[in-house]
């Protein structure tokens, strides 16, 4: 896709969201079960949509919340339901709607103090720490569409293991919520808002203090403080702004906090590659504002709106490619956490860089490769089989210093602070270390592109079979493996991955947009990478036409 002329620039007024209309549509627009695009649909991380498109409205939240109440009861989950939300305009309306249902169903809920915001990883951390000491199991909800545009809303359920619910659970909730929608919400129990907020089941909770105080058990913050390095933390107007303020104050870090205010239009964001406002901390276009400041700080980082993702900016290289930073983080943690067992492996998604495999092999660590989605790492982190789980889209988490689980959801805060620890301890920023990797393991060229696709083309790609690929060579390289199931857990990819000599590519249809995604990596050259992309698109076109 072409790059927008607005990419990397501040948005014009015409691009800014009409927040009053967006919120009004949340309450006034009624989705129809008969329209598939307006039903509840849980993707890789919850239900997402926009109120103006009738895909994220009050009716959806009423139905999902009732379905979650029924699911909790069926599983004997009666502990506290921890609720977090980000700063998207639809998050607070969704939270208030959900509380009406939870209070009516007698569900104990903990919400942030003073109508505040709570990041995704903090909810996971709260679930894990409480379930260690309480008899009744706790779970959680995070109301966020992640880094998506200001028009979007999102609602996801986290299980008692702290992580995003797996597909078995989300299918139950999704199907029941759609049944409720189909029945015109007749099964929904909901109190009037003022009555719900006065309920003894809804309590305000200090999420900030326990999370911030516990950070010393996952990050060597003393090393960061002693070094005196100059840090920039860009909150991007997201849910973790008060957390960075508390971290700076408690630990006395030399840290400047940027964009620590709420602007539901996100008018301070640089426009992303496609001309949309998107709080994507892995995009050089969206992060252009922080990149411009790279020479003013020793290390800088930013996070998306719910703080489950990270973007690392160094003076030596600007915004790091997420894959590059993941490989550095894995190496550093494996060599600087002496209490961890040497048998612990590494979790990576199948579209993450093969540099991770080469680094892990040099460390004698096994790599567990999974489909896209952090949910595939939850059990392995929770049960202590891997010390690190990371996605190519800049989301990761890792264990406490003592080897116990910290967060079984992505934690952009600890990944950001880890970049400062790496610099403080080694004297090198993560980009410097990655550059050393390329000299030792080779230099990879990586790219992901979005290709417009019809529903029929997406369905073909999702159902593609290994024997459909009848080529021995692609871009001059021998085809070594064709995978439709992930090697690490034998789960369906929802597309395919083809491993070539010193290169690979993967193809997946988007679950929410009319596109399919091609991921490509070559350890040969940029030219070779582009040749793979060209031949893959031609091959898919031919195969799709034959299947019609």
Please give the positions annotated as active site: 146
CA distance 132 to 535: 52
Q: Residues of 4-20 as b/e, b for ≥16 C-beta within 10 angstroms?
A: eebbbeebeeebebeee
Burial level of 402, CB count in 10 A (0-12/13-18/19+)?
A: exposed
CA distance 295 to 376: 38
Three-class DSSP category at 389: strand
The closest alpha carbon to 347, from 333, 364, 324, 365, belongs to: 365
The closest alpha carbon to 305, from 516, 109, 87, belongs to: 87
Long-range contacts, stretch 479-484, CB < 8 angstroms, 24+ apart: 483/350
Query: What is the number of alpha carbons within 13 Å of residue 476 lying toward its C-beta?
Result: 8
Contact 332, 365 (CB under 8 A): no
CA distance 508 to 273: 20
Nearest 10 degrees: Cα torsion 127, 387, 307, 350? -120
Residue position matching structure tokens 């959680």: 140
Q: Could you tell me which residues come within 8 angstroms of residue 307 by beta carbon, excluding any fewer than 6 positions away?
A: 86, 119, 120, 121, 122, 238, 239, 240, 243, 411, 412, 413
Three-class DSSP category at 199: coil
Residue position matching structure tokens 């029941």: 176
Strand 42-43 to 46-50 pairing: antiparallel
Nearest 10 degrees: Cα torsion 399, 405, 411, 417? -40
Tokens of 480: 């070594």
Radius of gyration of the chain (CA): 23
Residue position matching structure tokens 């008969």: 34
Burial level of 275, CB count in 10 A (0-12/13-18/19+)?
A: middle
Tokens of 459: 């369905």
Distance of CA 239 to the CA centre of its chain: 14
- DSSP of 292-319, one letter per residue? TTGGGSSEEEEE-TTS--EEEEETTTEE
Q: Residues of 277-294 as b/e, b for ≥16 C-beta within 10 angstroms?
A: bbbbbbbbbbbbbbbeeb
């Amino acid at each position: 896709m072409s790059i927008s002329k607005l990419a990397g620039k501040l948005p014009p007024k015409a691009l800014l969201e009409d927040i009053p209309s967006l919120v009004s549509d949340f309450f006034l627009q009624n989705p129809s079960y008969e329209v598939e695009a307006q039903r509840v649909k849980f993707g890789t991380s919850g239900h997402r949509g926009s109120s103006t498109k009738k895909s994220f409205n009050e009716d959806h939240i009423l139905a999902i919340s009732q379905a979650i109440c029924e699911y909790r009861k069926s599983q004997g989950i009666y502990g506290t339901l921890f609720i977090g939300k980000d700063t998207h305009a639809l998050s607070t309306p969704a939270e208030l709607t959900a509380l009406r249902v939870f209070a009516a169903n007698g569900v104990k809920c903990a919400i942030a103090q003073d109508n505040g915001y709570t990041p995704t990883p903090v909810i996971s951390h709260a679930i894990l720490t409480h379930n260690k000491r309480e008899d009744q199991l706790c779970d959680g909800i995070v109301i966020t569409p992640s880094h998506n545009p200001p028009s979007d809303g999102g609602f996801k359920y986290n299980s008692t293991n702290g992580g995003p619910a797996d597909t078995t659970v989300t299918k139950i909730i999704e199907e029941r919520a759609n049944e409720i929608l189909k029945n015109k919400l007749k099964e929904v129990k909901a109190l009037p808002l003022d009555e719900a907020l006065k309920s003894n089941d809804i309590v305000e909770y200090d999420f900030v203090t326990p999370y911030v105080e516990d950070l010393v058990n996952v990050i060597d913050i003393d090393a960061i403080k002693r070094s005196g390095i100059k840090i920039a933390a860009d909150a991007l107007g997201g849910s973790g702004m008060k957390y960075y303020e508390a971290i700076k104050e408690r630990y006395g870090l030399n840290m400047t906090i940027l964009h620590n205010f709420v602007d539901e239009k996100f008018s301070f964001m640089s426009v992303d590659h496609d001309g949309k406002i998107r709080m994507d901390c892995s995009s050089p276009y969206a992060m252009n504002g922080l990149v411009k400041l790279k020479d003013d700080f020793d290390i800088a980082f930013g996070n998306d709106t719910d703080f489950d993702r990270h973007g690392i900016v160094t003076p030596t290289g600007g915004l790091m490619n997420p894959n590059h930073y993941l490989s550095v983080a894995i190496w550093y943690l494996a060599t600087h956490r002496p209490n961890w067992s040497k048998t612990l492996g590494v979790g990576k998604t199948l579209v993450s860089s093969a540099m991770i495999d080469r680094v892990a092999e040099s460390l004698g660590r096994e790599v567990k490769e999974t489909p896209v989605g952090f949910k595939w790492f939850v059990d392995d982190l929770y049960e202590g089989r891997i010390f690190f789980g990371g996605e190519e889209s800049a989301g990761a988490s890792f264990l406490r210093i003592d080897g116990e689980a910290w967060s079984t959801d992505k934690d952009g805060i600890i990944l950001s602070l880890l970049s400062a620890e790496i610099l403080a301890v080694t004297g090198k920023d993560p980009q410097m270390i990655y550059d050393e990797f390329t000299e030792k393991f080779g230099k990879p060229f990586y790219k992901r592109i979005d290709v417009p696709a019809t529903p029929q083309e997406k369905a073909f790609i999702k159902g593609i079979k290994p024997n459909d690929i009848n080529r021995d060579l692609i871009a001059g390289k021998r085809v070594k493996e064709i995978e439709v199931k992930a090697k690490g857990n034998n789960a369906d990819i929802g597309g395919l991955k083809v491993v070539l000599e010193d290169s690979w590519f993967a193809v997946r249809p988007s679950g929410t947009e009319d596109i399919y995604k091609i991921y490509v990596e070559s350890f040969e050259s940029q030219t070779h990478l582009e040749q793979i992309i060209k031949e893959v698109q031609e091959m898919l076109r031919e195969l799709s036409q034959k299947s019609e």
